[in-house]
Chains A and B, each alone.
Chain A
Amino acid sequence: MINQPETQDLLTEARQVLLDSVAPELSGERKYQALMVANAMGMAIRELEQREHGQPEQTDRTVRAFLVERSLEATTGDAEEGLARAIREHHLDGADPALRSVLRTLTEARLQINNPRYLKRES
Chain B
Amino acid sequence: MSALADTFSAFIARQTGARSARVIDFDKLSGGAIQDNFGLTLDLEGGSRPDRQAFVVRQDAPSGVAESLSRSEEFRVLQAAFKAGVTAPEPLWLCEDPEVSGRVFYVMTRAAGSASPRKLVKADFTEEQRRNIVRRLGAELARLHKVRPPQESLKFLALPDPDNAALSRVALYRRYLKEIGEPHPVLEWALNWLEDHAPEPGPTVLCHCDFRTGNYMMNGDELTAVLDWEFAAWSDPGEDLGWLCCRSWRFGADDREVGGIGDKQDLLDGYREASGIDLDPAAVSYWEVMGLVRWAMIALQQARRHMSGEQRSLELALTGRMVAQMEFDLLNQIQELEDGQ
Which of A33, A87, A102, A119 is packed against the most chain B CB atoms within 10 Å? A87
Report Cα–Cα, A87/B188, bound state, in Å: 6
A93 to B: closest C-beta gap in Å: 10
Report Cα–Cα, A104/B318, bound state, in Å: 21
Report Cα–Cα, A80/B188, bound state, in Å: 12
- B325–A115 touching, CB < 8 Å: yes
B296 to A: closest C-beta gap in Å: 11
Query: For window 155-202 of chain B, which residues contact chain A by CB distance below 8 Å?
Result: 174, 183-186, 188-189, 192-193, 196
8 Å CB contact of B183 from A39, A81, A108 = A81
B265 to A: closest C-beta gap in Å: 21
Report Cα–Cα, A78/B119, bound state, in Å: 44
Residue numbers in B under 8 Å from A18 (CB-CB): none
A107 to B: closest C-beta gap in Å: 5
Contact with B along A87-123 (1 / 0, CB 8 A): 1101000100001101110111011001100110111
* A123 touching B318 in the complex, CB below 8 Å, given contacts A83-B183, A83-B185, A115-B324: no
Query: Size of chain A's interface in residues, with CB distance under 8 A?
Result: 33
Residue numbers in A under 8 Å from B254 (CB-CB): 121-122
Report Cα–Cα, A104/B188, bound state, in Å: 14
**Contact residues of A: prevailing secondary structure:** helix
CB-CB nearest in chain A for B184: A84
Report Cα–Cα, A110/B324, bound state, in Å: 6
8 Å CB contact of A123 from B174, B314, B336 = B336
- A87–B185 touching, CB < 8 Å: yes
- A107–B188 touching, CB < 8 Å: no
A49 to B: closest C-beta gap in Å: 16
Residue numbers in B under 8 Å from A65 (CB-CB): none
* A107 touching B324 in the complex, CB below 8 Å, given contacts A36-B314, A78-B183, A87-B185: yes
Query: Size of chain B's interface in residues, with CB distance under 8 A?
Result: 26
Query: For window 7-59 of chain A, which residues contact chain B by CB distance below 8 Å?
Result: 33, 36-37, 39-40, 43
The answer to whether B335 has its CB under 8 Å from any CB of chain A is yes
Residue numbers in B under 8 Å from A108 (CB-CB): 328
8 Å CB contact of B188 from A88, A114, A118, A119 = A88
* A40 touching B328 in the complex, CB below 8 Å, given contacts A83-B185, A94-B196: no
Report Cα–Cα, A88/B175, bound state, in Å: 12
- A119–B328 touching, CB < 8 Å: yes
Report Cα–Cα, A106/B332, bound state, in Å: 14
Report Cα–Cα, A103/B183, bound state, in Å: 12
* A36 touching B192 in the complex, CB below 8 Å, given contacts A78-B183, A107-B186: no
CB-CB nearest in chain A for B178: A88
Report Cα–Cα, A104/B254, bound state, in Å: 21
Which residues in A have some Cβ–Cβ distance to B below 8 Å? 33, 36-37, 39-40, 43, 78, 80-81, 83-85, 87-88, 90, 94, 99-100, 102-104, 106-108, 110-111, 114-115, 118-119, 121-123
Which residues in B have some Cβ–Cβ distance to A below 8 Å? 174, 183-186, 188-189, 192-193, 196, 254, 314-315, 317-318, 321-322, 324-325, 327-328, 331-333, 335-336
6 new A-B contacts at CB < 8 Å, known A33-B314, A110-B327, A111-B325: A83-B185, A87-B189, A103-B189, A111-B324, A111-B328, A119-B328
